[in-house]
């Protein structure tokens, strides 16, 4: 059984433990309760491991995307700073701001 299916397979096994309780009234004896609690604990640990794996994967993917953006910025900056390069940055153009008030939005 692969690790990625451990959780779902374990839930199926846990569900099967309750089949006999569906057809007639039964009392859960202490040994059965301990067994069920043990299975639930194991499933919780498997679920946590999968959650950690997904979280780690998502975190790493986000970091890769962010680093790719930084690498592009570093490449552009290096090209701008290279003597004789034809790469130029756009000039900053100050634009007037108005929020519709007569004073031009000054505070």
Q: Does residue 2 register a pLDDT over 80? A: no
Q: Where are the alpha helices (DSSP H) in 18-29?
A: 19-23
As a whole number of angstroms, the distance between CA 26 and CA 22 comes to 9
Q: Does residue 106 register a pLDDT over 70? A: no
- Judged on CB neighbours under 10 Å (0-12, 13-18, 19+), 50 is middle
Q: Which two tokens stand for residue 52?
A: 């950690």
The domain limits of the chain are 3-81
Per-residue pLDDT tens over the stretch 49-104: 889 999 999 998 888 888 776 777 778 888 888 898 888 888 888 877 766 666 65
As a whole number of angstroms, the distance between CA 43 and CA 8 comes to 9
pLDDT at 58: 92
In this prediction, residue 1 has a pLDDT band, given cuts at 50, 70 and 90, of: very low
Per-residue pLDDT tens over the stretch 6-46: 888 888 988 988 888 888 888 888 998 898 899 999 999 98
């Amino acid at each position: 059984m692969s690790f990625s299916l451990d959780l779902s397979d374990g839930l199926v096994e846990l569900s099967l433990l309750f089949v006999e309780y569906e057809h007639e009234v039964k009392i859960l004896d202490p040994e059965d309760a301990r067994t069920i609690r043990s299975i639930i604990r194991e499933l919780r640990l498997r679920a946590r491991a999968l959650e950690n794996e997904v979280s780690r994967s998502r975190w790493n993917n986000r970091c890769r995307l962010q680093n790719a953006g930084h690498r592009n910025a570093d490449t552009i900056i290096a090209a701008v700073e290279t003597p004789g390069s034809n790469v130029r940055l756009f000039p900053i153009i100050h634009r007037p701001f108005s929020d519709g008030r007569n004073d031009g939005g000054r505070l």
